[in-house]
Structures are given as C-alpha cells and as structure tokens.
A and B are shown apart, each in its own frame.
Chain A
C-alpha cells in the first residue's frame, strides 16, 4: 500500500503525548521521593505516599509495613519511568518520521520540478 501521511497531523499527535509524558514523570517523582512533604498536592496525589505515623507510634510492625510500602512505591515509580521513556521514545520517533516524510516529499517535488523544467 502506498504510504500516505499528513506530517502536520503526526506532529500534532506527537505533541499531544507530551502531557502524558509529564504525567508519568510526575507520578515517578511523587512515588520515588518524599515530595508529599514539600509539594502542594492536588486531589489526585494527596494521600498517595504513605505516612508511617498512620500506623501508630513505633510498634515493630510499623517498620516492616513501611518497608513493604516503600518497595511498592519504588516499583510503581519504576513502572511510571518505563511508561514515560516509552512515550518519549514514541514522540521522538513520530517527529523523525514527519521530518523524513517532509524531506523526501520536498526532494520528490524538486525532482518533479526538475523533470518538468527539462520537458519544457
């Protein structure tokens, strides 16, 4: 099948991925740091990072539960980073595709114009 592409639309779609990339980066940051103590959180993020004091002061189980949750948050942050990298890669690749398409199209048009010139 002949390739048909509107490079402007491809670029628009690539640009639209940016907010998802930013979202994933934010998620990674929220889970991998103690951001809750320093950042104003919106409703989506408030209460995301577990506070160890919710488990009561100092019983031995508090420590093991906190470490389990920390592990969970780090794993989740890792997934967010994978998604972020994946989407950034897709965005970049699509931009390359659009550039390449335009270059080739311009080259083809030049060639066509040259042929036309010769035919006169």
Chain B
C-alpha cells in the first residue's frame, strides 16, 4: 500500500474489476457453482458465485470518494476565520483595547483562539480522511490481488468440468485450483478488511481524543465563572 500523504481530487482508477470480470464469464461462473456443488466442502461454505458476488458489490470508488468529500467539506466548513471582511474590520473600522481583546480571541496563539481551533480541526480531519482513504486503497489492492488467479480460473473452468466428468484428476483440481487458488484466497480478503477497519478505528479514536483536548481548552478560554458559579462569557464580561 502506498499510503496517502495528501488527499487526491478523485479516485476513479479505483474501479472494482470483479463485476466486469464476472459479466464476461457468466457461463463459467455457473459451471464453477455446479462443480463446487458436486464436491464435499466445509459446512456453510458459499457457492463460488455468491462469494464473488460479495466481492463484486464492494464499491471501492464510492468509499474513496466519500473519504475525499468528507475531507473537502471539513476543509470548507472549518476554513480560517481570518478573511478579507475580518481584516477590513480590524484594520480600518475598529481599534482600542476591546478591539485588541477581540483580535486575541479570534486569532489567539497556541491552542487559544477561534482560528487556532479551526486550524486544528482542519489538521485532524485531514488525518482522518487519510486513514479512511488508506483503508479504501487497502481494500482495492486486496481485491486486485485476487484478479489474476480468478481470471485464470474462470477461463479454464470448462476444462475442469470436463475433467471432473471424466473423473480424472478431479481431486487435484478441486483442491489445488478451485479451493487452493480462489476460495482460500478470497476468504482472507474479508478477514484482511476487518484488520483494515481496526487500523482506521484506532486512528479515528486517537485523532478524536486529541481534538477533545483542544476543544476543552477553547471552552475554558470562552467561559469563566461568576461569584454564583454560573458560567459567564469571556467576551461578554469585558467592561468598556
């Protein structure tokens, strides 16, 4: 897995190749099910067409696109508060102690200040988007790794059926080719996806926790308590 250092604009080349492959080999797929049904397999083992169907329905592009959109909307909604209107107000139309206090509240330093908080949000949401995208890429690569073996299997299934009917070397083909090459590899893909999920979960959790800290900091800055223990606004209590 290459891993993303920045968020791409599109992931169109992530197309899942399995649906196209299956459409091109519908007869072979049916023959494969027939072949699998004739032979003893583990209890509850899915027919090959059903297992392939599950892999075919994973929309990798949609996963990647969702991660990108989630990133883009965060960058947009959490963009800097220091815009032209703010610069114009503070530069031309308001000055003095109260204006300075307001400026500090907005721009701050360290963890303080609304703009610092927005900057942290953008950093953390980008980390989350990268974790999400890397997971999508991992899913895509796991699926792609299966394709060469699957293509070969689908291309040769007629031969296997014929050999099965002639009862020659059947055991070899079922064990080595159908089960060995495809089913044994497809099953771990699903397990690998579960692993990818736990990585993603870990990143989300870690990022979320550091964000909670900065938000608490901002809230402390925002509110202090009056003599009766009631929260009062930091800005609101400023005197003229």
Binding site for B on A (CB under 8 A): 1-6, 9-10, 12-13, 16, 23-24, 27, 30, 44-51, 53-61, 64-65, 68, 71-72, 75-76, 79-80, 82-83, 86-87, 89-90, 93-94, 96-97, 100, 104
Query: Which residues in A have their C-beta under 8 angstroms from that of B99?
Result: 3, 5
Q: Which of B74, B118, B197 contacts A68 (CB 8 A)?
A: B197
The interface residues of chain A lying within 8 Å CB-to-CB of B54 are: 56-59
Q: For the complex, what is the distance from the CA of A90 to the CA of B102, rounded to whole Å?
A: 9
Give chain B's interface residue range (CB within 8 Å of chain A). 35 or more
- Whether B97 pairs with A3 at a CB distance below 8 angstroms is yes
Least distance between A8 CB and chain B CB atoms (Å): 8
A44 touches B62 (CB 8 A): no
Q: How far is the CA of A79 from the CA of B211 in the complex (A)?
A: 9
B79 to chain A: closest residue by CB: A20
Give CA–CA (A117, B21) in the complex, Å.
95
Residue from the list A24, A64, A93 in contact with B77, Cβ < 8 A: A24
- B22-30, B35-43, B145-153, B200-208: which one contacts chain A? B200-208
Chain A nearest CB, measured from B130 CB (Å) = 13
22 sampled A-B residue pairs with Cβ under 8 A: A3-B98, A4-B95, A5-B95, A9-B89, A10-B94, A13-B85, A13-B88, A13-B89, A30-B73, A45-B73, A47-B69, A48-B70, A48-B73, A57-B57, A60-B194, A72-B204, A76-B74, A79-B211, A83-B118, A86-B117, A90-B235, A93-B233
Contact for B76 among A6, A12, A44, A87, CB less than 8 A: A44
Q: Which residues of chain B are near A82, meaning CB under 8 Å? A: 215
Q: With A48-B69, A54-B63, A72-B204 given, can you name 13 additional A-B contacts, CB distance below 8 Å?
A: A1-B95, A13-B85, A13-B89, A46-B69, A50-B66, A59-B54, A68-B201, A68-B204, A75-B208, A75-B211, A86-B117, A87-B81, A89-B235
A5 touches B55 (CB 8 A): no
A57 to B215, alpha carbons, bound, how many Å? 38
Q: Is the CB of A54 within 8 A of B58?
A: yes
Residue of B66, B72, B102 touching A44 (CB-CB under 8 A): B72
Pick from B194, B204, B233: contact of A61, CB below 8 A. Answer: B194
Q: A45 and B204: CB pair below 8 A?
A: no
Give the shortest distance, in Å, between B63 (CB) and chain A (any CB).
6
Contact of A100 with B77 at beta-carbon distance under 8 Å, contacts A5-B94, A46-B69, A82-B215 already known: no
